Amino acid sequence: MDLSTQFKKANKKYGMPDTHIVMADLISLGYSNLDAYRVVFQEMAVLPDSQLKKEADDFVSDAAFKKLLKDRGHKHAAEDLDVLSKEELMDKEQTAKLIMRAAMKQPADSKERVDGLIRYADLMGFKREEVAVEDNLDTIHFFFPVKCSMCPLLKKYNDYQKRHNKEGEVLMAIDMEHIIRSAASTMEKLNKK
């Protein structure tokens, strides 16, 4: 890998190969050990995944690399703070990027990572977009009344009876089941014709 002389000069203080520094930077930015290893050491990609994972884990577990990783992680965190100090307020996207970056630095199966990703999704409004898309569909929603006496069908039926001067034929809520059953059979007969 051929890197710029500026990169080499800036990282000469570590006394490690440039590939190690790039690997530490990628992991500090949220790449998994395996993904960072694949990017940096592309010639190793021909190995089976299990062996490649072992190589990546062995590489990351080296004491000198751990020290480098810690130092590069602090460098990136300091850059984040520097960005924050230059601006008075962060906008939604900057906040989301910081949350995502912090979440991705956590272990893949950790509660902290899940919490960070949930906060990121909340901030970006993914749920609100889903709801907005659902509302645009031609969907019919049915809501059942809390009490039988609040049933809109019963109310319409009784209003109809009152308008046509059939006060004696106004139904109680308990009688509504009978009306629905008889209407169902009538509707079936009409549909067959």
Please tell me whether residues 102 and 121 are part of one structural domain. Answer: yes
Q: Give the tens place of pLDDT for each residue, 12-67.
A: 777 777 787 788 888 877 788 888 888 888 888 788 888 888 888 888 888 888 88
2, 19: one domain: yes
Please tell me whether residues 111 and 176 are part of one structural domain. no
For residues 73 and 102, state if they share a domain: no
Do residues 135 and 155 share a domain? no
Q: Say how far apart CA 93 and CA 101 lie, in whole Å.
A: 12
Q: Are residues 75 and 108 in the same domain?
A: no
Shared domain for 107 and 170, answered yes or no, is no
Same domain, 187 and 172: yes
How many alpha carbons fall within 13 Å on the CB side of residue 61?
Answer: 6
pLDDT band at 170 (very low <50, low <70, confident <90, very high): confident
Query: Is there a single domain that holds both residue 74 and residue 36?
Result: yes
Structural domain count, the chain: 3
- State the Cα–Cα distance between residues 63 and 70, nearest whole angstrom: 11
Do 95 and 51 share a structural domain? no
Which structural domain, as residue segments, surrounds residue 72?
A: 1-86
pTM of this structure: 0.40
d(CA 148, CA 178): 13
Output the pLDDT for position 137: 64
Summarize pLDDT for 61-108 with one digit per residue, the tens: 888 888 888 877 766 555 554 455 555 566 677 777 777 888 888 787
CA distance readout (Å), 147 to 21, 150, 173: 69, 5, 9
- Least confident segment among 35-49, 107-121, 172-186: 172-186
Of 70, 86, 102, the domain-final residue: 86
Q: Is 41 found in the same domain as 70?
A: yes
13 and 30 in a single domain? The answer is yes
More confident of the two residues 185 and 138: 185
